[in-house]
Amino acid sequence: MRDVVKAIEWSDEKLRIVDQTMLPVELVHLELESYHGVIEAIKTLAVRGAPAIGIAGAYAAVLVAVESLKLDAALRCEFLGKALDEIESARPTAVNLSYAVKVQREIFAENRIVAGDIVDEKLVARLLGSASEIHERDRQMCDAIGSFGAELIPNGSTALTICNAGALATGGIGTALGVLYVAKEQGKLKRVYSCETRPLLQGSRLTCWELQQAGINVTLIVDSVAGALMKKGEIDFVVAGADRIAENGDTANKIGTYTLAILAQAHGIPFYIAAPETTFDRSLPRLSDELIELRDSKEVTCGFSAQTAPEGIDVYSPAFDITPKELISAFITDRGVIPGGRK
């Protein structure tokens, strides 16, 4: 069960990622040798999921250092600052990307004090060590979330999840799906319903693929089926991941998460957010819409090359929504379960 797909690996001075745009049709890898390549992969969602883009961003900073070795010292400082800014802004909502870039930026800054603008193999090795640490820590946090979360799951349960918060989205077994993998190991999980997750179908393309590989009973539903299933008494709990959680418990996650939280409350079904402690952004008292990424209208009107709306139609397509703590039964973190605000 723990032998899940590895979404990200550093090998032979390259970042090797599963190209998630090709799933479920083909399991292919991209080998990224430039930081621009990593940014492109993050923007196109070839690598996606908050922890995974944080890990990819940390490795991208290693590539920045390697690329800067070829530059004249006079150009280096400006190049480094610009490149790190570009990585950080590739996707705005997940706290993990800005955290990873911040950690790597500090290593560049310390080096600058000690050695001026010298970028050498020693600095590259330090950055790589730091990226590997972020990666390994994420793997361990997923295991811990899985163990804490599984304790909440009654025998014979059926879960509902949205998007993909699994191995493909993290450095380990996943957050929301981590809970499900461990519950399955413990013989408690009967079935998982996976919301399709319009418009980019991370639920049907990625979660269904991942759970099927792991031998978990998974049933795909289109997003609008969730309420009807709850009404029929088919769902025992909902579990989702998170991209950023503010001090007051406001939780940003894939668009549609808020709707599921409302539905879960209306039907008296527990609604859990599974996320590591690092997803909590204590610098923000609450979340605002400014942090919510807006996606290209083409993903809605012409997704997967099929035109499904008239030319020129106005589209509103936020990638994430914000669920208030009052709708969350509990946060399952790597340090334990924190009560939410739902009565």
Residues that bind ligand MRU (CB under 6 A): 45, 48-51, 94, 163, 165, 169-170, 174-175, 202, 241-243, 253-254, 319
Which residue minimizes CB distance to ligand MRU?
A: 241
Whose Cβ is closer to ligand MRU: residue 77's or residue 262's? Answer: 262
* Least distance CB 233 / ligand MRU (angstroms): 26
Q: Note the residue count of the chain.
A: 343
Residues 12, 120, 243, 250: which is the catalytic one? 243
Residues with Cβ within 8 Å of 203's Cβ and at least 6 positions away in sequence, in order, are 161, 162, 163, 164, 194, 195, 196, 197, 220
Whose Cβ is closer to ligand MRU: residue 49's or residue 146's? Answer: 49
Catalytic site residue 243?
yes
* Least distance CB 210 / ligand MRU (angstroms): 12
Whose Cβ is closer to ligand MRU: residue 45's or residue 61's? Answer: 45
Locate the DSSP E strands across 91-243. Answer: 157-161, 189-195, 218-221, 237-240
181 near 210, Cβ under 8 Å? no
* Least distance CB 12 / ligand MRU (angstroms): 27
Single-letter amino acid code for the residue at 324: P
Whose Cβ is closer to ligand MRU: residue 48's or residue 184's? Answer: 48
* Least distance CB 90 / ligand MRU (angstroms): 11
**What are the CA-CA distances from residue 139 to residues 39, 90, 200, 290 (Å)?**
22, 23, 25, 30
CA 299 to chain centre: 19
Joined together, the tokens standing for residue 246 give 């503010």
Of residues 53, 55, 10, the one with CA closest to residue 33: 10
Active site residues: 243
